[in-house]
């Protein structure tokens, strides 16, 4: 993630930010997001998780060679694969959590932070099981941008209080610089992984608006948002391939 943090610093300055925006916009022409529920695509993202986590020390050996958990099949779960020119390069899982759907990894890990807020009617996207294949990256440091764009699309669709992102402390600078994420907890044992994890929160509202203005490749049309999130992923029988729509904002500018 060192390259990602370097790109984060570049994105924080106006001159480099323009170059970053242009670069990511061009790469999005080769990207599609797949909302995955089963079959070989699901096994592929579980294998990618495992390979990434084993290499980084996030998990130990697993005989199946796949990393899955009890939250994968919840009705508020959305599992995505990110494909570049048809090849799987990263994956991210999102849970939409609310008073009606209060279950996700972060709720279980940090009930003292989230339970009362959910009861008050606040809503969140919980982004977990982020994994990448650096050897397949089209350029150094770009996979976090291409992958975490999913959280920004979700935030635009659901109208949230915040996006939650449990991360290693050493990666916190990236989230603070790009998303103005706020650390809510100290590092602690997180379900399913070995490394200490802290909960960070990306406020929506005005902060989301500013993030989309700084990084327009995070923008999305209503059509893209509905394709990703209008129906729970668990109810789909086949993977749904979704093309990024940020370019339509660029072309209209």
pTM for the model: 0.89
Q: Please, which contacts does 134-137 make with residues 24 or more away whose CB atoms are closer than 8 Å?
A: 136/84, 136/87, 136/88, 136/89, 137/89
Mean pLDDT for 42-65 is 96
pLDDT at 217 over 70: yes
Q: How confident is the model at residue 140 (pLDDT cuts 50, 70, 90)?
A: very high
Neighbour tally for 188: CB within 10 Å: 12
**Helix crossing, 14-28 with 2-12: angle to 10°?**
120
Task: Please give the Cα distance from 154 to 97 (Å, whole number).
Answer: 12
pLDDT at 57 over 70: yes
**More reliable by pLDDT, 127 or 250:** 127
CATH numbers and ranges of domains, the chain: 2-252 (3.40.630.30)
**More reliable by pLDDT, 53 or 234:** 53
Neighbour tally for 87: CB within 10 Å: 11
């Amino acid at each position: 993630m060192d390259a990602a943090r370097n790109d984060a610093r570049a994105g924080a300055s106006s001159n480099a930010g323009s170059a970053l925006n242009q670069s990511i916009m061009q790469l999005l022409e080769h990207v599609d997001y797949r909302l995955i529920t089963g079959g070989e695509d699901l096994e592929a993202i579980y294998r990618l998780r495992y390979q990434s986590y084993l290499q980084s020390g996030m998990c130990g050996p697993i005989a199946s060679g796949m990393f899955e958990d009890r939250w994968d099949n919840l009705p508020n779960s959305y599992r995505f694969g990110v494909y570049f020119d048809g090849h799987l390069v990263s994956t991210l899982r999102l849970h939409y959590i609310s008073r009606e759907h209060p279950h996700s990894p972060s709720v279980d890990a940090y009930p003292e932070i989230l339970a009362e807020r959910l009861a008050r009617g606040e809503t969140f996207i919980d982004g977990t099981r982020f994994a990448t294949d650096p050897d397949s990256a089209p350029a150094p440091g770009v996979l976090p941008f291409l992958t975490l764009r999913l959280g920004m699309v979700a935030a635009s669709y659901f109208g949230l209080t915040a996006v939650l992102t449990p991360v290693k402390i050493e990666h916190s600078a990236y989230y603070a610089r790009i998303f103005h994420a706020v650390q809510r907890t100290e590092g602690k044992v997180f379900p399913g992984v070995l490394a200490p994890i802290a909960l960070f929160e990306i406020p929506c509202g005005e902060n989301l608006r500013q993030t989309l203005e700084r990084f327009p490749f995070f923008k999305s049309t209503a059509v893209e948002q509905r394709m990703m999130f209008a129906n729970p992923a668990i109810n789909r029988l086949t993977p749904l391939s979704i093309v990024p729509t940020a370019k339509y904002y660029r072309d209209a500018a």
